[in-house]
Structure 1
Amino acid sequence: MVSDGALQYIPITALAVPNSQTYQPLITTNEIISLPSASTIALLRQEVKGRKKAPKTLAVLADPVFSAKDERIGQKSTGQSMTQNLTTFDQQQLARSAREVDIDFERLRFTRQEAETILSLVSNKEQRKPALDFTASRNLATSPELSQYQIIHFATHGILNSQNPELSGVVLSLFDSNGKPQNGFLRLHDIFNLNLPAELVVLSACQTGLGEEVKGEGLVGLTRGFMYAGSPRVVVSLWSVDDEATSELMKLFYGNMLRKNLKPAAALRAAQIEMSRNQNYAAPYYWAAFTLQGEWR
């Protein structure tokens, strides 16, 4: 499915099945895949044709450190906030973007549980890369090491800056283990410059599926960036997601892929259907934000 204009912001999966007596989300009767533009799928297939799969299974970057007051830094904390003593250009740009979109980088505590559960599904330790706390860093995200993994999972804050799309990105650890500020802003241009031949990139963060609309090309944002970097399929969100519900959804999604061997599109659909039937998470707000974009085969 290729949507146009404002339709790109609508969770099609949550629309009601026509003529149903009670609310039944469309996802229960249809597998729905989104594409940024009609030309994207042909380009993606051409790019990955004949490409060998990466040798390792899963890398997870989750639960970064956003504040020098974080208990993981302990007594070494300098007491600096994210916006204090930012010396690099990218750090300054992150502070600016945060102000413009009015976002506060609070710790996402459920992302740790999410990450640990997902990683446990890969029993061979040589096949998985846990990058939590300080190691969930921009340095790792831009390193050649990540090109060795078939699935790359980011569980952190994302920024959509519609005023200045170039200031959109993924926020990773902003401090090192000594409490010293570091550049943790993986900006959109950084993502376009990555070499990331993964089978799947998952952005378990807020509003990662949005971007700047370009006539004839749809939304150009993080999704397009990771596809340009080499991933034929990306799971992203359309709004600010609930931390706990997202953790539950991702556990189901990865269980369907890694234990039941479902393809990503089918795995996400099954997870969302199960969430929609859970009394605690039945509202579409909890499960319908995430969409798989790109290659569905």
Structure 2
Amino acid sequence: MVTGHRSLNQAESTVQDSLRQTLSRHESQLAALQEASQASSNERTAEDLETTRTRLSAAEAAWSTFHEEIARKYPVSEGQAFPLERVQETLTDQTALIGWLHVEINPKEVSSWGYVIRNEDPVEWVRLDNQSGRTEMSADIEKAREVHDALTIASAWPCRPASVARITGEIRKLWRRWMAPLTQHLVGVEHLVVIPSGPMLGIPIEALVDSDSVHLGDHFTVSYTPSATIHTWLWEQSAQRRAPMVRSALLVGDPPFTDDHLVAMEREAEDQSFVEGVLFASAEPPLQTTVVRSALFGNQEALASLPRLPRTRDEVERVASAIPAATTLLGPEASEQRLFDLAESGALRGFDIIHLATHALVDDALPERSALVLSRVGLPDPHEAIVAGARVHDGLLTAKEIVREWDLDADLVTLSGCQTGLGRKAAGEGHIGLAHAFLQAGARSILVSLWKAEEEATSLLMTRFYENLTGAYRDERDGRRGESMPKAAALREAKRWLRTYIDDEGHQPFQHPSYWSGFVLIGEP
């Protein structure tokens, strides 16, 4: 994760942008040619492959040389941990950084610690294992993993869980083991910044229940960060930026993946009653790992098998109603080409909020390949693009492309899809994937999901969250009326509201934490 920026002059920035575009263009051409050669090999394709490989190698060499020169001219201390005093300068009396450290003594022994960082005084370390029998901790770690699996399975279950008694009992045990020992150092704290690791990685702590049966999210607002250094860097970047008078937003959703999806959209536009039936349809089953892997490697059948997400159209339109200045890209407009054009022109930097509602394909082995799936209807012919020396678009926006091509000044990026917060597990960095890519591209915070996002619950949560964020509401919420809330507070209220939401039949369909706790805020809160 980058912790500093080099201040390039205009000429250097122009060269950097040109090299980035050249690399991306040759990489997309090479991928298209490799796919074509697998389908049918001929002399022309082989020649084009060799030529493109040569051009890509030259571009990579130019990129490497440029960055070596820039590194010598503008040395920075990237990747180094910030001192404690610098971290503490970002904290108020009401904010604390918390996390856990697990040390494997031997295959059967694990020593575990929790820590709390306040705005002054040394770090408070709390030993969590039983020193006379540390082998018990291995069982506690396994229990945490079982709870995570239970939440993940419940979110993907075709029927909503009817009872929350069992999961409540299990998450109370997690609170007792991992959070209760830290509470003595959290007196006066209202906001927790969590550095998840070990067994707590992937478990939203706001879902934990204390001994009084109160969710931790009712005690604190919560946000997450990969490390104390990244938290500090993002806070410093935000402190230097003046909030815009009017929020500008880019909202993207409901991309078609097949021509049949496009036909359905056209039919829905003509028949409103049909639209309502589609939008509230049952959730699709989770994507299988084999489908995700095949899709990431360009398998056309796998990509065509991805189910459409019509509820994301409703979600985007509702969010747009809370942000009058929003730009919306729906249906075929929700395309890689449109986003590439916005990135290339620099227009992406003008959006304060970016909301992307579509499938996420997460590669936990090669996180740079993780991608958001955009419209796959009307894609330009790859051969014609190669002949013209242009970028080849495949409908996938990868983490690598985001890091290389996007230049953001966004206060918030929301990835409203399934498992958008996952990726490769890395010690001290959490999950490396799409979230890290957007942070590196310039976003100061990311709203992502830890498991499958049920469409109706997600649409309700996102609508409420953006109303809270922008002040587009008239009832009283957390002692406010029509007042914009900070991001973490807006998410906290939306989660609590969804948890207690009562439908037309008098039921509370989203009590289970798998529906309301899966979206977490990473970055500046």
The within-5 A match list for 1:14-163 is: 14-16=207-209, 18-20=210-212, 23-52=213-242, 57-70=248-261, 71=263, 93-96=296-299, 104-123=305-324, 127-142=325-340, 143=342, 144-163=346-365
Is the contact between residue 451 and residue 518 of structure 2 (CA under 8 Å) also seen in structure 1?
yes
Tell me the CA shift for residue 186 of structure 1. 0.6
| One-letter amino acid matched to 1:288 | S
Tell me the CA shift for residue 53 of structure 1. 5.0
Could you tell which deviates more after superposition, 244-253 or 41-50?
41-50
Could you tell which deviates more after superposition, 173-182 or 219-228?
173-182
**What percentage of aligned pairs have identical amino acids?**
32
Q: 1:12 aligns with which of 197, 205, 214?
A: 205
Tell me the CA shift for residue 189 of structure 1. 0.4
Q: Deviations over 1:258-280 (max 9, x none)?
A: 12301111001000000111212
Tell me the CA shift for residue 5 of structure 1. 2.6
| One-letter amino acid matched to 2:496 | I
Could you tell which deviates more after superposition, 49-58 or 60-69?
49-58
| One-letter amino acid matched to 1:119 | A
| One-letter amino acid matched to 2:195 | V
Total equivalences in the alignment: 273
Secondary structure at 2:259 match in 1: coil
| One-letter amino acid matched to 1:3 | P
Match of 2:493 in 1: 270
Tell me the CA shift for residue 141 of structure 1. 2.6
The within-5 A match list for 1:132-281 is: 132-142=330-340, 143=342, 144-176=346-378, 183-193=394-404, 194-258=406-470, 259=472, 260-278=483-501, 279-281=508-510
Secondary structure at 2:490 match in 1: helix
Q: Deviations over 1:167-213 (max 9, x none)?
A: 21211111128999952101010111210111100110111111112
Q: Deviations over 1:144-173 (max 9, x none)?
A: 322211111011111112233232121111
Summarize the Cα distance change of 1:198–1:98 in structure 2 as closer, same or farther, 3 Å threshold: farther
| In structure 2, C-alpha distance between the alignment counterparts of 1:281 and 1:192, rounded to whole Å | 35
Secondary structure at 1:176 match in 2: coil
| One-letter amino acid matched to 2:411 | E
Please identify the structure whose Cα radius of gyration is greater.
2
Q: Deviations over 1:124-143 (max 9, x none)?
A: xxx21011011111123332
Using structure 1 for the length normalisation, give the TM-score: 0.83
Match of 1:286 in 2: 515
Secondary structure at 2:421 match in 1: coil
| One-letter amino acid matched to 1:32 | V
Could you tell which deviates more after superposition, 266-275 or 43-52?
43-52
| In structure 1, C-alpha distance between the alignment counterparts of 2:309 and 2:430, rounded to whole Å | 30
| In structure 1, C-alpha distance between the alignment counterparts of 2:376 and 2:227, rounded to whole Å | 34
| In structure 2, C-alpha distance between the alignment counterparts of 1:245 and 1:103, rounded to whole Å | 26
| In structure 1, C-alpha distance between the alignment counterparts of 2:381 and 2:331, rounded to whole Å | 12
Q: Deviations over 1:68-109 (max 9, x none)?
A: 22215879xxxxxxxxxxxxxxx974535996xx99521111
* Structure 1 segments unaligned to the other structure (5+ residues): 76-90
CA RMSD of aligned residues (A): 2.8
| In structure 2, C-alpha distance between the alignment counterparts of 1:146 and 1:2, rounded to whole Å | 29
Summarize the Cα distance change of 1:162–1:290 in structure 2 as closer, same or farther, 3 Å threshold: same
| One-letter amino acid matched to 1:95 | G
| One-letter amino acid matched to 2:336 | R
Summarize the Cα distance change of 1:256–1:68 in structure 2 as closer, same or farther, 3 Å threshold: same
Is the contact between residue 176 and residue 182 of structure 1 (CA under 8 Å) also seen in structure 2?
no
Using structure 2 for the length normalisation, give the TM-score: 0.48
Summarize the Cα distance change of 1:192–1:147 in structure 2 as closer, same or farther, 3 Å threshold: same
* Structure 2 segments unaligned to the other structure (5+ residues): 1-193, 268-293, 383-391, 473-482, 502-507
Greater fraction of residues in helix: 2
Could you tell which deviates more after superposition, 270-279 or 114-123?
114-123
Task: Provide runs of 4+ in structure 1 moved above 6 Å.
Answer: 177-181
Query: Could you say which structure has the greater relative contact order, defined with CA pairs below 8 angstroms and 6 or more residues apart?
Result: 1
| One-letter amino acid matched to 2:510 | Y
Summarize the Cα distance change of 1:49–1:231 in structure 2 as closer, same or farther, 3 Å threshold: same
Secondary structure at 1:134 match in 2: helix
Secondary structure at 2:436 match in 1: helix
Is the contact between residue 34 and residue 294 of structure 1 (CA under 8 Å) also seen in structure 2?
yes
Summarize the Cα distance change of 1:26–1:96 in structure 2 as closer, same or farther, 3 Å threshold: farther
Is the contact between residue 37 and residue 217 of structure 1 (CA under 8 Å) also seen in structure 2?
yes
| One-letter amino acid matched to 1:265 | A
Secondary structure at 1:285 match in 2: helix
